[in-house]
Structure 1
Amino acid sequence: MSHKILKVHPSDNVLVALTDLSVGDRVEYEGIQVIITSEVPAKHKFAQQDMAPGDEIIMYGTLVGKAVEAIPAGGILNTKNVKHQASSFTGKTKTIEWQAPDVSRWANKSFMGYHREDGQVGTGNFWLVIPLVFCENRNVNIIKQAFLDELGFGHQDVYKSYVQQMVEMYQSGKIEDIEKLSIQSNQQNGQKRIFENIDGIKFLTHEGGCGGIRQDSDTLCALLAGYINNPNVAGATVLSLGCQNAQVGILEESIKRINSNFSKPLIVLEQQKEGTEQELLTQAIRRTFLGLIEADKIKRQPAPLSKLVIGLECGGSDGFSGISANPAIGHTSDLIVALGGKSILSEFPELCGVEQELINRCVDNPTADKFVQLMRAYARAAEAVGSGFDMNPSPGNIKDGLITDAIKSAGAAKKGGTSPVADVLDYTEYVSKPGLTLLCTPGNDVESTTAMAGSGANIILFTTGLGTPTGNPVTPVLKVSSNSRLAQRMPDIIDIDTGPVIAGEKTIEEMGEQILDHIIEVASGKTPTKAMQLGQDDFIPWKRGVSL
């Protein structure tokens, strides 16, 4: 890798700027010299040779766009001279042989996890409080206020204290001191936790459960069932109004469908049966507290790395994401699979253009056919409302070099490594097979991470090039930056920096191995993620409308 430019794949006809390039700069790759003809900021791509209108743009060895006007060698690729173009796909056309990475270094390693009766192992031990319908959000929040501080799970409200200090300065006439007033970083409160083996009580509010169409409430129940069954969850308290579409019976049936041997404590209370709000809340708080006493009896025990279920996510991507962070966690995924574990690749709009490669990696034809059907159905739904996968890149993506969805997708798919695709799941289906699973979700960061936790992920790796604070209520989210500048600028949200790959200081393989070591620390409860420290608990169910 040159310190200035990179060619990702031998068949590419574009190069990536690793540093800012100016007009007149001369760069050389494999003996071919290119004179830069326009300003090319770091992360952006430029033509290696002259291109005419209609010429195909190849990156990552695949079709990612088409020139709509002449682009000279050394000219930047942008949204004016390139449009989205992706390769078509069909059923499985060949079988790809996989060479698993050497995992002997981790053969005897384990993590300290919470063993569940169904064989799953949690990386955390959380209690859930969930409303079946938005009408119960207020009651869930009342329970939250009652529990968090008293049990030692709250965070200091440093911003409230900050405002109080400013009020005091204003009232005492010291307005000039307000500009000098600093704020202390947010820390866990000083009160000792009552339950040492419980990592938190999580309160999931939402705007669903009634109204809309019945499929929406059925899907919500399936998602909530996945959260209750997640290995990081010890038990749950569910509040129902009674008359809503999302009935208790639908939730119970969804749980049974995921796990016929479900045995966790599940407290279900219906307000229209209990009577007064006070009676409902009194019962909910008392029974939840008793449930916590039982959940606290579970302690961390050694577990093989095959019990890890890793979600693979990207958000706030930049032009380096597909070169450093994404392939790094892709190698981590391959290591997990080689160790007998599970990994989940989601965000179907960001697999546009690489479908055929993933299809050929599927272990059999039925698995491949299911992926084809889900991708085509999703694309048709987007087109039916006047949209399409080509509209997926955000303004931030485009500004930092991801100018077409196919470029973004080719880099995003690197998160899935190279292992065979063992299974394909629709939204809310629960992961069961060891290996790499493709899960149908939107590209929206929170909708996708919400879905992966609902499908059983007990750790999520989240790459970002621009900075995204996303976390999850029950599954630790490790934030992986694509570049060192971001890691230095936003250290409060970044856990791991893959910038050394761009600098040529580490290989993709070395970075992926480092990430696995960090996962073991987080999974064992030794190292909290930055999102956990910030209390970043994001939860947005997908209503199966068009969301890119």
Structure 2
Amino acid sequence: MATAIGDRAPAAIRLRKDDNVAVASRGIAPGTALDLGGLTVSAIDPIRPGHKVAAVDIPAGRPVLKYGQIIGFASVDIPAGSWVHVHNVRADLFERDYAFATERPVPPPIDRPRTFPGFLRPDGRVGTRNYLAVISTVNCSASVSKYVADRFRDGSWRRDYPNVDGVFAITHKGGCGLQFEGPDHQQLQRVLAGFANHPNVAGYVLIGLGCEVGFASHLVESRQLVTLAGVKESGRRDEPSRPRVLNIQEEGGIARTVEAAVEAVHRLLPAADSWRRTEQPASKLVVGLECGGSDGNSGVTANPALGVAADLIVAQGGSAVLAETPEIYGAEHLLTRRAVSEEVGRKLVDRIKWWEWYTGVFGAEINNNPSPGNKEGGLTTIYEKSLGAVAKGGSTALVDVLQYAEPITKPGFLFMDTPGYDPVSLTGLAAGGCNVLVFTTGRGSVSGLKPTPTVKVATNTPMYDRMRDDMDLDAGTILAGEPVESVGRRLFDLIVAVAGGSPTRSEEAGVGEEEFAPWSIGPTL
């Protein structure tokens, strides 16, 4: 049951003693006296929840500080008690001190080793779900792949194969009109291979048209694909077999390809069903950390709570993976300092520099953010958004920086280079091998992505109450006085439970196929 924000909770929260703004935890009327940790300020303007109020006078040109960091610069004189937002703050460029590998954070001690029932695969990874996938190599075969998955929607097969979580289609808009073996081709192959080889996928069928750039046999012959579960059409899973590849042109059209693919899936079901959950250590957790539809409270409640959970995952020996490079812009120096080496820190800075170049090619700016919805929720600049987003990564050492959809092989806290757009970022994290995703949101999100369960965390209680059918946890209780540490530990417990089979709200709603969205970085030819 949600905890409402009561009158005893502070109306505004000053996060650091040197901050010159505070964040409204509820609506504030003009004239309201605010106790801001040693400062008493009277509100001049109405302040909406998640928005900022000036704790002191901020002269024009001076930095605006939140989290003890620069989130922008006053564009005009801002009197104490004023609403602080896009009308009086600008995102000027400023130098960051990267101080590579100067911090040596230590993960918190393990209270007790945790376990969860999961599917131990032959390569040592552990699945949290047990799916069969129908993978389209090109948009030309997308409808056929969907028709195949549709034949398994009624669930009648579940009586005979109760240990299979479902049959789902991976469809997309690409696969052709790109340079053969160029960056986009290689990246798409990495994504498709990541889903086919995913620990949550027991077997798969590949469907192509037959003449596309990203043709299926090339994906197989490139040795990016393995039969993770060793699923053979004989029903045995004791040794690998060549994946089943179907091309519409060779099969003789839509109808024949659908029938052949449906038959292929039926042949995979017995071996997929033979998998059983066994008790596995929490070190097998690979958790993707995502935020979307953020608001001014994201960096106050849900993101810091997820940071606590991420630290606990790392302490257990698992992997916690932060992403969304454009949405750490202006806060990357907090990560470079935590890097295990200067080399790892510079890998992150190189990605930032690449994004500055990449956006410039199209006449855009990496700091052309936040979105209109973010601004409506109280976020003023990309720097503010980034500082709140980085909080998801907790406090442990940054052990590596990965390419988009690169396989995640190291334990600890990692960063994956992805766009900030949620479906594209989640697709990269899942392709890398994340077996659980956690998605924090302040405005509200209905994301999910098969085959990886997605835990959604609300930053504020009003939104949680409004969208409780789509939210898994309310972190807005922090605004009512619950410690961040307490919420983070509850979130960690929820992650472990979901890994063990407890359904998420997005799974109950049945979403997760249409959200597959690989990142296309180059031209369509």
TM-score, normalization: structure 1? 0.88
Going from structure 1 to structure 2, the CA distance change for 1:244 and 1:309 (only over 3 Å counts) comes to same
Q: Does structure 2 retain, via aligned residues, the 8 Å contact 1:8–1:15?
A: yes
User: 1: distance between equivalents of 2:153 and 2:377?
Assistant: 40
> Corresponding residue for 2:498?
522
Residue by residue over 1:57-76, the C-alpha shift from the partner in whole angstroms, topping out at 9 and shown as x without a partner, is: 11111111011111101111
Paired residues for 1:318-329 under 5 Å: 318-329=295-306
Residue by residue over 1:149-208, the C-alpha shift from the partner in whole angstroms, topping out at 9 and shown as x without a partner, is: 1545xxxxxxxxxxxxxxxxxxxxxxxxxxxxxxxxxxxxxxx54311111111011111
Q: Does structure 1 retain, via aligned residues, the 8 Å contact 2:121–2:228?
A: no
Paired residues for 1:465-484 under 5 Å: 465-484=442-461
Paired residues for 1:259-278 under 5 Å: 263=240, 266-278=243-255
* Cα drift, residue 255 of structure 1: 5.1
> Corresponding residue for 1:30?
37
> Corresponding residue for 1:236?
204
> Corresponding residue for 1:70?
77
Going from structure 1 to structure 2, the CA distance change for 1:4 and 1:210 (only over 3 Å counts) comes to same
> Corresponding residue for 2:107?
100
Greater mean deviation of Cα atoms: 120-129 or 287-296: 287-296
* Cα drift, residue 266 of structure 1: 2.4
> Corresponding residue for 2:506?
531
Amino acid at match of 1:116: R
Q: Does structure 1 retain, via aligned residues, the 8 Å contact 2:311–2:395?
A: yes
Greater mean deviation of Cα atoms: 478-487 or 250-259: 250-259
Residue by residue over 1:88-123, the C-alpha shift from the partner in whole angstroms, topping out at 9 and shown as x without a partner, is: 346543421213223223x1x310001110000000
Q: Does structure 2 retain, via aligned residues, the 8 Å contact 1:312–1:462?
A: yes
Amino acid at match of 2:505: K
User: 2: distance between equivalents of 1:50 and 1:358?
Assistant: 31
User: 1: distance between equivalents of 2:365 and 2:221?
Assistant: 35
Paired residues for 1:394-409 under 5 Å: 394-409=371-386
> Corresponding residue for 1:497?
474
* Cα drift, residue 264 of structure 1: 7.1
Paired residues for 1:393-432 under 5 Å: 393-432=370-409
Amino acid at match of 1:31: G
Q: Does structure 2 retain, via aligned residues, the 8 Å contact 1:379–1:388?
A: yes
Q: Does structure 1 retain, via aligned residues, the 8 Å contact 2:116–2:500?
A: yes
* Cα drift, residue 378 of structure 1: 0.9
* Cα drift, residue 258 of structure 1: 9.1
Q: Does 1:247 align with 2:215?
A: yes
Partner secondary structure for residue 235 of structure 1: strand
Q: Does 1:363 align with 2:340?
A: yes
Q: Does 1:225 align with 2:193?
A: yes
Identify the structure with the greater helix proportion.
1
Report percent identity of matched pairs: 37
Going from structure 1 to structure 2, the CA distance change for 1:392 and 1:275 (only over 3 Å counts) comes to same
Q: Does 1:513 align with 2:520?
A: no
Partner secondary structure for residue 154 of structure 2: helix
Amino acid at match of 2:329: C
> Corresponding residue for 1:53?
60
Amino acid at match of 1:123: T
Amino acid at match of 1:15: A
User: 1: distance between equivalents of 2:77 and 2:364?
Assistant: 27
User: 2: distance between equivalents of 1:286 and 1:235?
Assistant: 14
Aligned-residue Cα RMSD (Å) equals 2.1
Amino acid at match of 2:140: C
Partner secondary structure for residue 79 of structure 1: coil
> Corresponding residue for 2:171?
205
Residue by residue over 1:361-403, the C-alpha shift from the partner in whole angstroms, topping out at 9 and shown as x without a partner, is: 1111221111111111012211222221222211111011101
> Corresponding residue for 2:331?
354
Going from structure 1 to structure 2, the CA distance change for 1:253 and 1:318 (only over 3 Å counts) comes to farther
Q: Does 1:138 align with 2:106?
A: no
Counterpart among 435, 439, 442 of residue 412 in structure 2: 435
Residue by residue over 1:407-436, the C-alpha shift from the partner in whole angstroms, topping out at 9 and shown as x without a partner, is: 111101100001111110111211111001
* Cα drift, residue 345 of structure 1: 0.2
> Corresponding residue for 1:307?
284
User: 2: distance between equivalents of 1:362 and 1:394?
Assistant: 29
User: 1: distance between equivalents of 2:94 and 2:109?
Assistant: 33
> Corresponding residue for 2:12?
5
Amino acid at match of 1:5: A
Going from structure 1 to structure 2, the CA distance change for 1:258 and 1:372 (only over 3 Å counts) comes to farther
User: 1: distance between equivalents of 2:298 and 2:431?
Assistant: 25
User: 1: distance between equivalents of 2:109 and 2:479?
Assistant: 24
> Corresponding residue for 1:160?
none
Q: Does structure 2 retain, via aligned residues, the 8 Å contact 1:234–1:265?
A: no
Paired residues for 1:142-157 under 5 Å: 142-151=147-156
User: 1: distance between equivalents of 2:498 and 2:55?
Assistant: 43
Aligned residues: 503
Partner secondary structure for residue 332 of structure 1: helix
Going from structure 1 to structure 2, the CA distance change for 1:293 and 1:478 (only over 3 Å counts) comes to same
Q: Does structure 1 retain, via aligned residues, the 8 Å contact 2:289–2:438?
A: yes
User: 2: distance between equivalents of 1:264 and 1:20?
Assistant: 61
Residue by residue over 1:489-538, the C-alpha shift from the partner in whole angstroms, topping out at 9 and shown as x without a partner, is: 1111000111111100x21111111111111211111x200000111111
User: 1: distance between equivalents of 2:71 and 2:255?
Assistant: 59
Q: Structure 1: which 5+ residue stretches go unaligned?
A: 153-191
User: 2: distance between equivalents of 1:545 and 1:500?
Assistant: 43
Going from structure 1 to structure 2, the CA distance change for 1:87 and 1:195 (only over 3 Å counts) comes to farther
* Cα drift, residue 541 of structure 1: 1.0
Q: Does structure 1 retain, via aligned residues, the 8 Å contact 2:101–2:340?
A: no
Amino acid at match of 1:416: G
Q: Does structure 1 retain, via aligned residues, the 8 Å contact 2:198–2:228?
A: no
Q: Structure 2: which 5+ residue stretches go unaligned?
A: 1-7, 231-239
> Corresponding residue for 2:233?
none
Amino acid at match of 2:488: G
Counterpart among 336, 347, 357 of residue 380 in structure 1: 357
> Corresponding residue for 1:168?
none
* Cα drift, residue 249 of structure 1: 4.3
User: 2: distance between equivalents of 1:332 and 1:253?
Assistant: 40
User: 2: distance between equivalents of 1:151 and 1:84?
Assistant: 56
Q: Does structure 2 retain, via aligned residues, the 8 Å contact 1:21–1:40?
A: yes
Q: Does structure 1 retain, via aligned residues, the 8 Å contact 2:123–2:228?
A: no
Partner secondary structure for residue 390 of structure 1: coil
Going from structure 1 to structure 2, the CA distance change for 1:508 and 1:206 (only over 3 Å counts) comes to same
Going from structure 1 to structure 2, the CA distance change for 1:5 and 1:259 (only over 3 Å counts) comes to farther
User: 2: distance between equivalents of 1:92 and 1:427?
Assistant: 25
